[in-house]
Amino acid sequence: MEKLMQLPLFREQEKKVLTRLIKILQEKKYPAGAEIFSEDSIGETLYIILSGEVLITKIINKKTGEKKPLAILGQGDFFGEMSLLEDKPRSASASAKTEVELLLLPRKEFQTLLHSEPEIAATYLFALNNQLSARLRRTSQELTLLFETGRIIGQGKSLNEMCNLLLERLLEGIPQSEAGFFALENEYTDEYEIIAAQGLSEDLIQPLPPEEPLIAYFLNRIKTSSIGLNEDYVFFEEQVLSSSRLKNYVAQSILALPLVDKNELLGIIILLNFKEQHIFKKEDWQLLSAVGSQIVPAIQITRYHEEEKARERLARARERVV
């Protein structure tokens, strides 16, 4: 019962409800990489995560089987909830990102409870509905931020202007962030220049060399495991905050997203909080990651156009000299 009371879905349930649910809940462990269920399979079970992480993916190309990561779920999260109410195919796949311990609530058992003890079943459904409402609010927040990101990208601004507008919108969309910056690689110096910053003093806005612990971390990850935008999330706390450079930001929490294209680190987005440690959650990273997937091609395209304009100006200048 103690395990259940630690989970958001059961935290406010009465003892009699928990006692009854314990009788129908089943525990199951999956090793890292194991499939929990596949897309289009018939759902018969609700899953609740006791420990570990679960990756939710959806097929985006049926011919090749290519999948897009949708979410990384952790302790206290649940998935497959619609299977309690309807006998329909799953809309996505779920697999164990790490070794994971799950609680399973089979539809058959829940429907029996619904008929025999409707009050207890209704209490559980009410708690489930509250959690789903919170999830929908996060989805709405993400869609709004993605729409705003697309709108900013489509305005045809310069690279600096675009990144400043995007950073401003990110700070609004992720309320825990109080400051942040975009750093993009300068291919001539190999340093990562801060081209957009909010909430930082001028003396802190200096280029980051490749050996800077944060940059070095991502470069090493790309070299060893070819990380992508949606394959992992990283929260930098004591490890990076104690480094020689970033400790000057006096931040308590740092959320970092690598901007990766074809195994090259184009840059990073950093969000900071000055008041509380470990304030950023995986949902914040997933939101930042979703925005990042739009930003990477936008940076490449904008850089290309700016370089084209620079070449045209140089060509015209040479013509005038001749």
**pLDDT higher than threshold 70 for residue 234:** no
Most confident of the ranges 23-27, 35-39, 310-314, 317-321: 35-39
Residues in the chain: 322
pLDDT at 226: 45
pLDDT at 13: 73
Helices (H), the chain: 2-5, 15-24, 107-116, 118-153, 159-173, 213-225, 238-241, 282-321
Distance CA 299, CA 187 (A): 14
Distance CA 202, CA 300 (A): 27
Q: For the chain, how far is it from start to end, CA to CA, in angstroms?
A: 85
pLDDT at 233: 43
For 273, the 3-state DSSP assignment is strand
pLDDT one-digit tens code per residue, 69-109: 788 888 888 898 888 877 888 989 999 999 999 999 888 88
Percent of the chain past pLDDT 70, that is, above it, reads 89
Distance CA 178, CA 276 (A): 11
Q: All domains of the chain, ordered by start, with CATH?
A: 1-137 (2.60.120.10), 156-320 (3.30.450.40)
pLDDT at 32: 93
pLDDT one-digit tens code per residue, 265-296: 899 998 988 888 888 887 788 788 888 888 88
- Which pTM value belongs to this model? 0.67
Least confident of 36-40, 171-175, 234-238: 234-238
The whole-chain average pLDDT of the chain stands at: 82
